[in-house]
Structure 1
């Protein structure tokens, strides 16, 4: 199916599920990459306190905070 035909069917509200291969679907820029960062003990303890207060894991807290800073940088420059 050509992209224009796909778009027309989608915009008309037709069922396009048969034209999609969900097994190969990817969301760009969401692939994970492992990064190791060393923090002083007092930082880890603070992260753990905040994570517990919010009911999330330390890793989730770090991801949320970094994503927020990238979306709304302190210096006012547009996000990366």
Structure 2
């Protein structure tokens, strides 16, 4: 199937999952790499409180907060 035909099906709201190879699917720019960060206990406790409050994992809180801050920095300094 041509990409144009696939785009038309998708834009029309059709289920295109049968045309995709999920084993080879990637999310460009969203590949992940593990990092280790040492934090003081009070920060970890505060993160855990916030994670429990919103019903997500500590890791999710850290990712969202980092993403928000990085986006804010990009807006503040658009040259980079």
Regarding TM over 0.5, the answer is yes
Structure holding more helix per residue: 2
- Give ranges in structure 1 of 5+ residues lacking alignment: none
Structure 2: which 5+ residue stretches go unaligned? none
**In 1, distance between residues paired with 2:38 and 2:18?**
47
How many residues of Structure 1 are paired with residues of Structure 2 in the alignment? 76
Q: Structure 1 pair 17/52, CA: closer, same or farther in 2 (3 Å)?
A: closer
TM-score by length of 2: 0.70
| Structure having the higher Rg | 1
Structure 1 vs Structure 2 CA RMSD? 2.9
The CA distance in 2 between the partners of 1:35 and 1:59, in whole Å, is 12
User: What residue is the counterpart of 1:66 in the other structure?
Assistant: 66
